Amino acid sequence: MKHFETELPEGYRRVYEIDAKNSKTGVILNVVSLLLAVLVFLPFVFSIGFRELFSPDVRSRYWLIFGVFFGSYLLYIVLHELVHGAAYKLLTQRKLTFGLSLSVAYCGVPDIYVYRKASLIATLAPFVVFTAVFLPLALLVKAPALRLAFILLFCSHVAGCIGDLYGACLMLFRFRDPKLLVRDTGPKQTYYLPE
């Protein structure tokens, strides 16, 4: 199965674009991301109990919690983009582009147009991989302080995937044609369909 085109085929037209470096888009994605983090965090608070998560034992270890969280989150950002890259590399064998701006970390394959299925796999790969890693840690770790760090990491992971989840929803629900092509430069994804 062919996963990409090196040139945009004749008869295709641009139908949508997500540009995370665009100020308006960046603000919207970050606000939705923050709301999503809170929505994911609340069930943990209710299921575990506010008292346990914010007990004196946990409060006395806030520096440890936030140290584990921030160190892990910085590593996670790099690994998240590497998982996108690994998926793209496996599917296309093409040159990857990585970067970081104030609003987004990114990985892309800017020199090709990727078909919907391959784009969907590469887009969702980090969400699937890191949910499988972080959710069990957030649910199963017994030490309250460490558990809170993993809960925060899981919530941040889900929220940090907002752009990926938005792109995946577009491909799953709005642009379901298997002929859809996506040009992914990293911070910008442009969607093309045949006329």
- pLDDT at position 50: 67
- How confident is the model over 56-108, as pLDDT tens digits? 777 777 777 788 888 889 999 999 999 999 999 999 999 999 999 877 899 99
- How confident is the model over 156-168, as pLDDT tens digits? 999 999 999 999 9
Each as own residue / partner, the long-range contacts of residues 32-37 (CB below 8 Å, 24 or more positions apart, any chain) are 32/162, 33/159, 33/160, 33/162, 34/159, 36/158, 36/159, 36/162, 37/155, 37/156, 37/158, 37/159
- How confident is the model over 41-53, as pLDDT tens digits? 988 877 776 677 6
CB within 8 A of 40, min separation 6: which ones?
154, 155, 158, 159
Q: Is the pLDDT of residue 150 over 80?
A: yes
